[in-house]
Amino acid sequence: TPLVSVSADDVSLHCAKKMPHANGYLYNKDMLLQLNCRGFAISQFMQPEPAKYSHGPSLEAKTFIQPEHHYYAHHPGRFFYVKDLDTQEVFSLPHEPMRKTLDSFKFSQRNNEICWHIIHQEVSFEITAQLVNDAVVECWQIHVVNQSKVNKNLALYPYFTIGYQSWMNQQADFCPQLNAIVAKSITPYQKVEQYYEHQSLQDTTFLWSQGKADAWLANQQLFEGEGGLTLPDAIVQSELPNQGTQYQVACGCLQYNLALAPNERFQNTWLFGPAKDENAIKEISANFLSTIDSNGKEEFSSTSVSLSGDDRLFHYINHWLPRQINMHGVTNRLTTDPQTRNYLQDNMGMSFLAPLRAKQAFLTAISQQHITGEMPDGILLNPDAELKYINQVPHSDHSAWLAICLLCYLDETNDVDILHHRCGYLDSEQQDSVLTHLEKAIDYLLLQRDERGLCYISQGDWCDPMNMVGHLGKGVSSWLSLACAYSIDCFVTIVKNYVSSTQQNSCQANVLRFTQAKEALNHAVNQHCWDGDWYARGINDHGRVFGTKADEEGRIYLNPQSWALLSQAVSPAKQYSMLNAVQSQLLTPYGVMMLSPSYTAMDEGIGRITQKSPGVAENGSVYNHASVFYAYALYQIGEYDMAFSVLSKMLPSEADQLIRGQLPSFIPNYYRGAYHQFPDYAGKSSHLFNTGTVAWVYRCVVEELCGLKGNKEGLLIQPKLPRSLPTLTGTRNFRGATIEFSYQQIEIDETKIWLNEQQLKHPRIDSIEAGKTYQLRVDLPRRPSE
Ligand code: CEZ
């Protein structure tokens, strides 16, 4: 068997050791469960702020989800110890904590479940984790089958981490009425008001068993004894001691003694999660059988693309990309105050899968715009939500995303009504149409420019940690200036395509003014930020242009180059040298780095980004969100081969999967960069599946590669196949219709298009009818090889 196998239903890993961090995730709107192949788990739920019910062994910091998560021996997990009662041999599943080599191992991510299929000493174990739809609880099932020819006497012990819950109060016990281990705690607080606020918290963790266990233990220290996790005293003893805890760390461990004749099977189900109290546990367990359902249930209608052969990129696009986008849309990255640019871009992705949901989100965001036109740092999703972490730092770019994301939504849906929808403001009673909100956003951006006509960066733009370029109020961002120009372009397209001609008249003055401003922005960037072969990243408070040849570190940044293509700031001659510079300085086997060389020391004129480890995150990793901007931009200028290659590198290939260390079931936010500085680490996945990348990948695939992009009249047809793909076939769902397409590159001079066997004069399907299926065939002239 290969190390990683990919089938229509799953992505599987066949070894627990070669890719120890390989992981998968399950989600529903209220929770996220990440499971790594060896049994470690990260689980979070919303109440409504993110919270945990399975903790580390000591007090943990509360923070946002981090890349390159570190696993350690006592890391929370869901494990099953197994003891052969005849030989006394003990091993643990799926791999941790004992780390014994098992006869066969398979870890699979499926749409609705994560499972392991393990065979050891002629006993097979199938372990499945699922989320119960719309409930905050993990559902675990095991099937044990004796595959040998002799009787097997086994003891099976699920050992689920509860961990350190609270420095004020924690205790755990077995509750016979519930048939569950119940670990209660009190979330620590000091202010009286918090006592009342905390009334609704689910401070109890429970492990409920469907079948009756023979013994139990809820005391972590007693569980380990002197043997530690690799051979816990409690497992060595013949029976768990049925003991709870008082103000000690809890665990959920149950014992089942199994006497299995050949072919005999044992099965059980456990529920594990948070609850308010015993009554809640009773209810959850009583309901689980009737409610168990798929997580991330396909409530979206997705476009699928298929390619003959089992290419990983296409497999990802068909099976996992919509799921990853939906996860962002449904969980809001497990925050109650998503960063504005993330919220808008995540919902740009949702425009394809669940347009109503996307619309609602856009309106929510727009209603929080300031009357000045400024979009806030963070969108509050409920009345009690507060701006936290990075949202307390002023960033300058949020207003630029409105027109960009709305244009995509309009192209997909033609929902022109949204432009007339009236929304309020965060700080004013005034109500205006969405169209006016869009104008205000651009006006705000235009106002925030310096005497050169470049946009102030404040304490960051798209790049969060670029916080000291402009904190004194002078520094400017070339990227934001270009993004502002591109945003204007999107606005103008919105007006041209989606505003009725009568109303266009009232916008005309603004369209003209904005168009001139766009030219001025592009001009200013060319004048002040062109460095001979590429664009600099900005000019800081002290007047230093950075991201240039003069810099030893951070000489070239990717984003200004990509967005100069999008905003059409770059002339053909400049474009040539710019693309060369990107290819020669930023390209690695794992994708395009965000900047290079990575910073190795703090630069107080740039900020926190230069303090991040070199090659990590914004400091010069292959930051997929930045890469996909580049891919999208390459499609706009006709560089289809390069664009496709950038997209393909977002997933591990068979050749480099050991270096990347992850499965091809999601695109991570980055792979380590600093390719020339720290080659030993380059290519390693961050394993973080929260990323603005995926919405853009979807756009790249559907609108660009497949070339099926909506507009006011219908669907434009302009496939952008790379030379490496002689054919492409697939299905696209669009405004309720189904388009079955089939493209080929052959020896002809001009593109020919057939719709339901009729040749089309224009590359467009007009007046598409919902419910209908269309057959689209396109013959494309094969381009000579380069
Ligand atoms: O966070 C992302 C942000 O969610 O970084 C992107 C930005 O555009 C996204 O909105 C680029 O900066 O250092 C920080 O403060 C950053 O905020 C990071 O945490 C970064 C992480 O990769 C988390 O996703």
> Which residue type sits at 672?
R
* Dihedral of the alpha carbons of 686, 33, 351, 687, in degrees to the nearest 10: 10
Binding site membership of 385 for ligand 1 (Cβ less than 6 Å): no
Q: In the prediction, which pLDDT does 363 show?
A: 98
Distance 634 CA to ligand 1 centre (A): 24
Distance 464 CA to ligand 1 centre (A): 6
SS3 33: strand
Binding site membership of 465 for ligand 1 (Cβ less than 6 Å): yes
Binding site membership of 328 for ligand 1 (Cβ less than 6 Å): no
- ipTM of this complex: 0.94
Q: Measured from the CA of 341, which atom of ligand 1 is nearest?
A: 10
SS3 105: strand
Output the six-digit token pair for 717. 């047809």
Q: In the prediction, which pLDDT does 133 show?
A: 75
Q: Is the dihedral of CA 369, 374, 380, 383 positive or negative?
A: negative
Output the six-digit token pair for 768. 């598409």
Residue nearest to atom 22 of ligand 1 (CA): 617
What's the rounded Cα separation, in Å, for the pair 224 and 222? Answer: 5
Q: Measured from the CA of 65, which atom of ligand 1 is nearest?
A: 23
Binding site membership of 391 for ligand 1 (Cβ less than 6 Å): no
Binding site membership of 610 for ligand 1 (Cβ less than 6 Å): no
Residue numbers in the chain where pLDDT is lower than 70: 289-302, 304, 306-310
What's the rounded Cα separation, in Å, for the pair 41 and 533? Answer: 47
Q: Measured from the CA of 609, which atom of ligand 1 is nearest?
A: 13
Find where tokens 């926190």 sit: 608
Ligand 1 pocket mutation pick from 464, 559, 593, 686 by most atoms within 8 angstroms of CB:
464
Give the residue numbers annotated as catalytic, written as ranges: 464
Contacts 24+ apart (CB under 8 A), 495-502: 495/435, 497/410, 497/711, 497/712, 498/410, 498/414, 498/416, 498/419, 498/712, 499/416, 499/419, 499/435, 500/416
Q: Measured from the CA of 686, which atom of ligand 1 is nearest?
A: 22
Binding site membership of 463 for ligand 1 (Cβ less than 6 Å): yes
Output the six-digit token pair for 174. 């077995």
What's the rounded Cα separation, in Å, for the pair 464 and 467? Answer: 7
Structural contact between residues 746 and 779, judged by C-beta atoms closer than 8 angstroms: yes
Distance 669 CA to ligand 1 centre (A): 9
Ligand 1 pocket mutation pick from 375, 390, 696 by most atoms within 8 angstroms of CB:
390
Structural contact between residues 597 and 674, judged by C-beta atoms closer than 8 angstroms: yes
Binding site membership of 464 for ligand 1 (Cβ less than 6 Å): yes
Binding site membership of 646 for ligand 1 (Cβ less than 6 Å): no
Q: Which of 454, 408, 419, 439 is nearest to 512 (CA)?
A: 439
Find where tokens 């347009």 sit: 355
Distance 617 CA to ligand 1 centre (A): 8
pLDDT for 228-240, tens place per residue?
A: 999 999 999 999 9
Q: Which of 108, 100, 155, 152 is nearest to 127 (CA)?
A: 108
Distance 630 CA to ligand 1 centre (A): 18
Residue nearest to atom 2 of ligand 1 (CA): 464
Binding site membership of 401 for ligand 1 (Cβ less than 6 Å): no
Q: Measured from the CA of 460, which atom of ligand 1 is nearest?
A: 12
Distance 405 CA to ligand 1 centre (A): 19
Binding site membership of 339 for ligand 1 (Cβ less than 6 Å): yes
Output the six-digit token pair for 127. 């372990």
Binding site membership of 528 for ligand 1 (Cβ less than 6 Å): no
Find where tokens 């050991």 sit: 658
Distance 690 CA to ligand 1 centre (A): 10
Residue nearest to atom 18 of ligand 1 (CA): 464
Distance 682 CA to ligand 1 centre (A): 20
pLDDT for 41-71, tens place per residue?
A: 999 999 999 999 999 999 998 888 899 999 9
Ligand 1 pocket mutation pick from 341, 347, 618, 685 by most atoms within 8 angstroms of CB:
618
Q: Is the dihedral of CA 78, 84, 87, 93 positive or negative?
A: negative
Q: Which of 615, 617, 619 is nearest to 588 (CA)?
A: 615
Binding site membership of 558 for ligand 1 (Cβ less than 6 Å): no
Residue nearest to atom 8 of ligand 1 (CA): 462
Backbone angle region of 591, left / alpha / beta, with phi > 0 → left and psi within -120 to 50 → alpha: left
CA distances from 110 to 10, 11, 316, 560 (A): 5, 7, 12, 38
Binding site membership of 618 for ligand 1 (Cβ less than 6 Å): yes
Q: In the prediction, which pLDDT does 307 show?
A: 63
Q: Which of 313, 240, 280, 144 is nearest to 701 (CA)?
A: 313
Distance 456 CA to ligand 1 centre (A): 19
Distance 246 CA to ligand 1 centre (A): 40
Binding site membership of 390 for ligand 1 (Cβ less than 6 Å): yes
